[in-house]
Chains A and B, each alone.
Chain A
Amino acid sequence: MDSQLADLQNFLVIGGLLFVIGLVGFVVRRNLIVMFLCVEMMLQGVSISLVAWGRYHNDWGGQMLVIFIITVAACEAGIGLALILSLFKHSGSLDITSWQEIREEGQPAFVDQAIPEETEEDRVWPKLTPAGIEPELDEDDLAHRSKV
């Protein structure tokens, strides 16, 4: 196989994988910031593909478009984060389900699925390593306080 073609194939697969992982992340997550990060990851996947095609055809066009992709991503991040901050100010959380009720006046609700409730086995907290040294406690002091 031609080595340039092999190169192109390698990079296209990586770009495609990055795009699909970003797509899955956008659909699955509920946090506004993480959804935005997944959109940026999709843009990165497309950038890799563009640079690979530009190299394959010995053309600058791929890299030029990636420069403009970075520019547009910066604008989008600026405005999007301003909007997210406004949404947070109104609803108090970064959850998008707090904005599920937005619709017109007489419109019936269209909800794909109920918001999952948190069960007891979902409450997994991270395990913190104990810090510090436990002080040596006087047993007599614990039983009977000599001074108040």
Chain B
Amino acid sequence: MTDFWSFLFIAVLLANGICLSLPPGNALTRLNGAVSCGLAIVLLFYCLPVLRDWDQSHDWVRQAMFWMLAAVTIGSAVGTISMRSPVYCAIWFAMTLLATSGLFLLQGAQFLSVATVILYAGAILVTFLFVLMLAQPQGLAFYDRISWGRRTSIVASVAGALLIFGLLLAFVGTPEDNDRFPETEVTQSSFDAKLGQKADDKEQRGHMEKLGRELFSRHLISVEIAGTLLLVALVGAIAIVIQSQKPKRLADSQEGARGDG
């Protein structure tokens, strides 16, 4: 059921849900927005293609896992942009990251799922929360409650709906109609067994070993550049913080000199 009008309806419903749940608005409006978003997500999953071969026993479990994780991802994403307190936004984003990690695991990217949880949710998000603690301890400020007003929310949601609809248009119709997605020779079993397996490699290696062999051979220069980038960012962040504290120290030292003299 992947046709033009159903995708348009889903885009409109999702935009309506997002627009109602964005900042200016009371609890009832936001509840309406959440219900509309949930309806759009359910309809979207009804429209997305299901796996064709149901005879393999593990396939329906995989599809159910995908639906659950995808629903949690999209719901948490809408929750991130619509909360009044920025701490709640950060916590919803952590939920989004956990669901994204599950989606990575479904795709066979085991290292990435663990790396997302450890680095993104465990380090970057905690840094965000630290800055929130230092910079906005009270929450529910007026610029969070009304943001840019109702008009901007409507216009942004319409633009988002158009973008989603445009992205979904690539999947309209069956694959035999258009040749954008040619048949691939990769099947489930060949993918699991042979991801990253070179043609001349005889022994079976684990996921981390294959990822390491790929990362440090084909992408070695990128690894070195990434390390340098991290060093530069570290030095830059410290320099910014020191620079922002300079005038205060200068004023203090001048005051001290006047007091002595």
Which residues on A are within 8 Å of B, measured CB to CB?
A: 1-11, 13-14, 16-18, 20-25, 27-31, 33-34, 36-38, 40-41, 44, 47-48, 51-52, 54-58, 60, 63-64, 66-68, 70-79, 81-86, 88-90, 93-95, 97, 113, 115-116, 118, 121-126
Contacts and interface: CB of A to CB of B under 8 A. Distances in A.
B175 A124 contact: no
A83 to B, nearest CB: 6
B22 A28 contact: yes
A63 B237 contact: no
Nearest to A22: B77
Given A77-B127, A81-B131, A63 B49 contact: no
B156 A27 contact: yes
Interface string B30-60: 0000000000000010001111110000010
Interface residues of B, number: 105
Q: Which secondary structure dominates where chain B touches chain A?
A: helix
Interface in B165-190: 167-168, 171, 174-175, 181, 183-184, 186-188, 190
Given A16-B164, A36-B128, A6 B52 contact: yes
B231 to A, nearest CB: 9
Nearest to A117: B146
A51 B109 contact: yes
Interface in B89-134: 89-90, 93, 96-97, 100, 103-104, 107-109, 111-112, 115-116, 119-120, 123-124, 127-128, 131-132, 134
Contacts of B22: 28
A73 B143 CA distance: 26
B70 A21 contact: no
Q: Which 4 A-B pairs have CB atoms at the shortest separation, nearest pair first?
A: A25-B81, A75-B233, A116-B149, A86-B244
B74 A55 contact: no
A20 B49 contact: no
Nearest to A84: B131
A75 B167 CA distance: 30
A56 B185 CA distance: 10
